[in-house]
Amino acid sequence: MPRYAVGDLQGHLKPLQALLERVEFEPERDELWLVGDLVNRGSDNVGVVRFARSLPHLKAVLGNHDLHLLAVAHGVRPPRRKDTLDDILQADDREELLHWLQQLPLLVRDDAHQQVMTHAGIPACWSVDQATACAHEVEAVLRDPARAADYFQHMYGNEPANWSGELQGIERWRVITNYFTRMRFIGPQHELDFAHKEQPQQTPAGFVPWYEQRQPDGWQIIFGHWAALQGQTGRADCVGLDTGYGWGAWLTLYDLDTGVRYQINPEGTQRVLAPD
């Protein structure tokens, strides 16, 4: 079974379809991984979600923009000025699409290939098994109507900034969510910096890109979220796939077995990059 992963779509369906045509993707045969941020910034959020939902061999995780959509839909957060979520919020099948999104996990792992995917990465304070357990905690909350509304009400915020096993309730859920969906730079106590989105060359004092703290453990981490990286981590075991299509750069489709990257930009130019 061919297996591919694609970077942050953010409401852009046509470039994904062009890349899938390039690799002769067969939905009934092939597997597609989505690194989160399916929605927001583009004009076809509803098309992206409908397409993803239709795939029989899909693996997808929630990103911060997906969670924001759900918070807006729950009425606990107003839309932001730059949001482009109206098409999905006003869709006839809105409730089905939102329910499907809310059931998505924060982490997907393929033990046979030792590959794991989250939207923003995995902090060094967690092994893959610990990260899996933490993801399951929040996923259980999202899938429980009695607790989900409270989660969305209190999901936003930067504190606590780092992990402690003693955390409970919404503070624990918020830290887990922030690691999986908002992480870029991280400090010596695994504290998150939320103010900087730049390239690693502009790392804030006392912080490093999160993947520089991790020791190789046999797992390959597939992630998105950090467009300024342009996919360049310098590590074969940490594969960044957000290459900034929504900002005029590239959408990346990554062959999970060969490491080949297929890319397209908003002008429709395509290119193929050999493994690093």
| pLDDT tops 80 at residue 78 | yes
Quote the pLDDT of residue 200.
86
Q: What is the pLDDT of residue 42?
A: 94
For the beta carbon of residue 270, count every other beta carbon within 10 angstroms.
Answer: 15
Nearby residues of 75 by Cβ (< 8 Å), 6 or more positions away: none
Average pLDDT over residues 149-170: 95
DSSP-derived 3-state class of residue 160: coil
Q: 60 forms bridges with which residues in the sheet?
A: 34
DSSP category for residue 245: G
Dist. CA 52–CA 61, nearest whole Å: 11
What pLDDT is stored for residue 198 in this prediction? 86
Instruction: With a cut of 80, say whether residue 243 has pLDDT above it.
Output: yes
Q: With beta carbons less than 8 A apart as the criterion, state whether 31 and 57 touch.
A: yes
CATH architecture under which domain 3-273 falls: 4-Layer Sandwich (3.60)
Query: What pLDDT is stored for residue 178 in this prediction?
Result: 98
Amino acid at 78: P
Is 31 a residue whose pLDDT tops 80? yes
pLDDT over 90 percentage in the chain: 92
And the tokens for 88?
């999905």
Residue 195 and residue 75: Cα distance in Å, rounded? 26
Structural tokens at position 183:
């992480």
pTM over 0.85: yes
Report the distance separating Cα 5 and Cα 93, nearest Å. Answer: 26
Phi/psi class of residue 17: alpha, beta or left (left: φ > 0; alpha: ψ in -120 to 50)?
alpha
Q: What is the mean pLDDT of residues 70-82?
A: 92
Q: How many Cβ atoms sit within 10 Å of the Cβ of residue 24?
A: 9
Confirm if 48 and 13 have CB atoms less than 8 A apart: yes
Cis peptide before 160 (omega within 30 of 0): yes
Would you say 37 and 8 are in contact if contact means Cβ atoms under 8 Å apart?
A: yes
State mean pLDDT over 216-245.
Answer: 96
Average pLDDT, the chain: 96
Query: Regarding beta strands 58-60 and 31-34, do their DSSP bridges make them parallel or antiparallel, or are they unpaired?
Result: parallel
Query: ∠ at Cα 242 (240, 248), nearest 5°?
Result: 145
